[in-house]
Amino acid sequence: MRGVFVTGTDTAVGKTVVSAWLVRALEADYWKPVQAGLEGETDSEVVRRLAALPPERIHASAYRLKAPLSPHEAARREGVRIDLARLDLPVSSRPIVAEGAGGVLVPLDADALIVDLMARLGLPVVLVARCTLGTINHTLLSLEALRARRLPLLGVVLNGPPNEANRKAIETHGRAHILAELPRFDALDESAIVEAARRFPPRLPAGCEVPA
């Protein structure tokens, strides 16, 4: 497995938290190709803290944009054009967990969307969904968008208090494999992530190699 691409049904659904969990569970590196928003901790810094990674396992973002906006608009404000051709998967002996920005149809420039970056990288996709009302619709829409572009789906991670009705609806109507259901952590810190990687390992489909 070269890695996975973590996307979400929306912004703030838990992509960064799920990435930290995956990094620990898969003994992977982390890469945020396009970071929009530099105030406070960046996603790379959050993952480094939560997964307690040495700096060499966090690959530098290709674009670091100041405004916490959709990448196309954050880039436009700085006179930058996000060039897909510059977004190559970093070289590593470990798998790479790449985290997108926002959801699947977020623009990178006037032409390209996050799904185009996924297609370019060719990594199986992990879709993070929240557990609250509205998630079935957002998840099914995201799955349709991925399938319309024939992107390989590894599975869905449900993030938050378990909700069986949501899970069943996503499995049935979305024909999607649920990789894990991550609980809401009262204290979100390194020990919570390490414990979650141990207690809730991703249910990888057969044929997916996980490092020993």
Ligand X SMILES: Nc1ncnc2c1ncn2[C@@H]1O[C@H](COP(=O)(O)OP(=O)(O)O)[C@@H](O)[C@H]1O
User: Contacts with ligand X in 138-197 (CB under 6 A)?
Assistant: 159, 182, 184-185, 188
Q: CB under 5 to 8 A by kind: which of Mg ion, ligand X, none does 17 bind?
A: ligand X
Cα distance between residue 95 and residue 29, in whole Å: 6
Cα distance between residue 41 and residue 9, in whole Å: 22
Q: How many CA atoms lie within 13 A of 176 on its CB side?
A: 31
Cα distance between residue 184 and residue 177, in whole Å: 21
Q: How far is the CB of 103 from Mg ion (least distance, A)?
A: 11
Q: How far is the CB of 122 from Mg ion (least distance, A)?
A: 21
Is 32 among the residues known to form the active site?
yes
> Degrees (nearest 5) of the Cα angle 192, 14, 128?
115
User: Contacts with ligand X in 11-40 (CB under 6 A)?
Assistant: 11-17
Instruction: Give the binding site for Mg ion (CB under 5 A).
Output: 15-16, 43
Q: How far is the CB of 138 from ligand X (least distance, A)?
A: 12
| Cβ atoms of residues 103 and 114 within 8 Å | yes
Cα-trace Rg, the chain: 16
Q: CB under 5 to 8 A by kind: which of ligand X, Mg ion, none does 103 bind?
A: none
**Interface positions with ligand X (CB under 6 A):** 8, 11-17, 159, 182, 184-185, 188
The residues that are catalytic are 32
